[in-house]
Amino acid sequence: MESGRVVLVVGVEESSTAGLESDDWTVERVGTVAAASDTFDRVDCVVTAADLPDGSGLSLCERIRERRPALPVVFVPATSDDELARDAVRAGVTEYLPVSVISGPDDLRGAVAAALDADPETTGGPGGADTGAVQVSADRTDELERYETIVEAVDDLVFAFDEKGRFTFANEAHESMTGNPAEDLIGKHPAIQVPDEDVAKTERIVRELLAADDRDHATFEMDVIRTDGERVPCETHIALMTDEDGEFQGTAGIVRDVSDRKEQEGLFSTLVEEANDGIIITSEGGIQFCNEQMAKMLGATREELTGQGVHRFVADEDRETVEEMFWQRYRGESDSARYEIDLCTTDGERVPVEVNTSLVSYQGSTGDLAIVRDITDRREREQELELYEKMLNAVPDLVYAIDEAGRFIAINEAGRELTGWNPDEAIGEHVSIGMSEADVAAGQRYVEQLLADDDREKAIYEMELHRTDGETIPAENHVALLTDDEGTFRGSVGVVRDISDRHRRERRLTVLNRALRHDLRNSMHVVLANAELLTAEIDDPDLRDRLDTIRHRAEEVNGLSEKAREIEQTLGTHETERRAVDLAPLLDTQVETFRDRYPSATVEADFPDHAWVEATELIDSAVGNLVENSIQHNGTDPTVTVSLSVDDDRVRVTVADDGPGIPEKERRIVKQGSETPLDHASGLGLWLVAWITRDSGGTIRFEDHDDWGSVVHLDLDRCDAPERADAHQATDGRALDDGAGALGSDEPADGRTDPGTRTDHD
């Protein structure tokens, strides 16, 4: 044996190769296929494991056979396996020595010595040494017997043909696969079990191998015909056999049943082609394969993409990431990688994607398999969520979400300043950390109402918010349901607003209003009393006219004060929630009341049987004020007409009279919704009508008439009648109180309860 030889160990654990060193050779060790490929020209033998970080020992052997066909390869898998042994034969290993059968250092050292001493020109088994077949020495009978046993034990068809293409050898697997006993095949032409077209293909391949200087084996697919006529798809590996002078002696090969693989390939092919994600395989930076979805994603055809450099489709700022992820896997630092980048289509558009990659063996070399998912929608959702988060944190109110058990799952930063809570520490805590038991129960009742009413979107109620420093804050809680994509209740969300300033303003206004009305009323009483006394003492007609003017204006001021008191009581003690209201019976009751109260007036009515609207409980009070104003300001025998018209979406209430009409100034101010010191209305009646109508989601419109009376239209949203007319959501009639519906009363005349539909608050 020559000295100075080099044995390269690839990926085999040192514990399995201990004692391999020898005076006849030196040992070098590497861990990957890539590292081993750089040494082929200077080593004398390769000892390789089956599994390597960037490929396999068999793929390494195939590379060796392409560059140095006679370089000995000792294959050392972890365990013995018949299928792996067949693959080893096909790949052209010199020695097959599983770790499981190595009993000591001498076994592996002996296998290396035998491989180094093997005659590269000696043929053995079905192929020659330079054809990838297993080489055995003639004087090693035990080794020959071992390989003969393997050949007979394998399930694949092993064969040898003479130079005329007739069987000279067939293993026993022929009978089990085809039904033809091996001994019956000897001397026969393969056409006995191979279709004519595949016989022609095999002969053509053999001619090509004979004509080639750098290739003496080939792998291709063909069918084998069973004796019952069934075709079995197979993969065939064939090699030329030559004598010592290089003369052609025939062929040898292995035929493997690939029915299962074909079925799997068909399944995988369907999955790959039908996948919603892009699938791409690259090798040395070039695209070797991509599915239709990947081509669509890049805006090109598969043919156009094949062979293209993959980096041209990666955004400039992401190329370094892609390169680094590849080399981490190639160096064995990780098996796979997952990252997000932007791809650039052929049209220059950017597509955000999530990439999952891993190394694969593809067409004899190491490639990079990537599953590419378009995350445009997800990126947009993330950006929206980020925007919402910024918006919520910019809101000065406490914004929260709780689960179905009442535990916080989200709180914005404003909650820290308002409550003193640390938002992160508050997550998972029950809402009772900031609310009284009564307010928690109220919140639960409102949630239950929302769950019971599909038409109701939110609820608003007042509560006290308890700070960590012990202070309580009056607050308004806007609550809505939290549901998943299937509509299942998952909790609630809300906005809690500090209304301390509002309460202070309301208390101050209440004090000011009461003081103003009290002083104003008392002062007007004094004025009226003195006017009466002076009238009795003065005979001058001019002075008496002036006293009448004083008395009249004082009575108007007193009436205005009383009207303000009525409006405050009415609007202050009634909710502005909207619900289903049947206006027809309500207004019919009002008309009858006005006819009794004002017998000199003519009140005409034109109503359908029903006119369901979505409005507040005071909507009939608005109509009643219009009717009463028309009667009181239109002379001694006024005529007032009240009518209802219904279409698909709206209900219109019309009040018309034959009086002097509503001044343009009054109409303009009420329509614009505000007054100025120089432009204000003379009374409050129209304001009350406008406020109630707008709280009901309706509009008020004045119709112009140059020669007679006034016409006022109230347009309201039409709604369907409730399933139960007596349900708490609906109103279909109530008594008129004091000539203006519920004005001045603390409760609705019909005893209506809290409504259960939409709520509008400022």
Residues 263 and 284 in one domain: no
pLDDT at 484 over 50: yes
On whether residue 451 sits in a domain, the answer given is yes
Least confident of 100-104, 162-166, 375-379, 683-687: 683-687
On whether residue 320 sits in a domain, the answer given is yes
Residues 588 and 703 in one domain: yes
Number of domains present in the structure of the chain: 6
Task: Read off the pLDDT of residues 206-263 as tens digits, 9 standing for 90 and up.
Answer: 999 999 888 888 999 999 999 999 999 999 999 999 888 888 999 999 999 988 888 8
Residues 328 and 426 in one domain: no
Residues 27 and 133 in one domain: yes
**408-434 mean pLDDT:** 89
Task: Read off the pLDDT of residues 717-745 as tens digits, 9 standing for 90 and up.
Answer: 999 988 754 444 444 443 333 333 322 22
Residues 114 and 164 in one domain: no
Q: Which residue segment(s) compose the domain that 115 sits in?
A: 1-138
Residues 288 and 268 in one domain: no
Q: Residue 365: what pLDDT?
A: 74
On whether residue 755 sits in a domain, the answer given is no
Residues 464 and 477 in one domain: yes
On whether residue 614 sits in a domain, the answer given is yes
H or E, element range at 266 = helix 259-274
pLDDT at 671 over 80: no
Q: Residue 155: what pLDDT?
A: 79
Q: Residue 734: what pLDDT?
A: 38
Residues 173 and 129 in one domain: no
Least confident of 309-323, 418-432, 519-533: 519-533
pLDDT at 119 over 70: no
On whether residue 407 sits in a domain, the answer given is yes
On whether residue 641 sits in a domain, the answer given is yes
- CATH number of the domain where residue 42 is located: 3.40.50.2300
Residue 273 — very low, low, confident or very high, per pLDDT cuts 50/70/90? confident
Residue with the bigger pLDDT between 494 and 668: it is 494
On whether residue 753 sits in a domain, the answer given is no
> 82-91 and 57-67 are packed helices; what angle lies between their axes, rounded to 10 degrees?
20
Residue with the bigger pLDDT between 569 and 412: it is 412
Q: Residue 570: what pLDDT?
A: 60
Rounded to two decimals, the pTM is 0.39
Q: What angle do CA 178, 181, 182 make, to 5 degrees?
A: 100
C-alpha closest to that of 366 among 357, 374, 375: 357
Report the helix count and the strand count for the chain, using DSSP H and E: 22, 30
Q: Residue 737: what pLDDT?
A: 36
**328-332 mean pLDDT:** 79
Q: What angle do CA 274, 278, 284 make, to 5 degrees?
A: 130
Residues 210 and 352 in one domain: no
Domain boundary among 256, 274, 292: 274
Residues 308 and 353 in one domain: yes
- CATH number of the domain where residue 356 is located: 3.30.450.20
Please tell me the number of Cα atoms within 13 Å of 216 on its side-chain side.
22
Residue type, 574: H
Residues 185 and 322 in one domain: no
Cα R_g (the chain), whole angstroms: 49
Task: Read off the pLDDT of residues 13-22 as tens digits, 9 standing for 90 and up.
Answer: 888 888 888 8
Alpha-carbon distance values, 731 to 137, 577, 721, 734, 745 (Å): 107, 13, 10, 8, 17
Residues 721 and 585 in one domain: yes
pLDDT at 664 over 80: no
Domain boundary among 274, 307, 328: 274
Residue 341 — very low, low, confident or very high, per pLDDT cuts 50/70/90? very high
On whether residue 350 sits in a domain, the answer given is yes
Main-chain phi, psi angles of 192, to 5 degrees: -65, -25
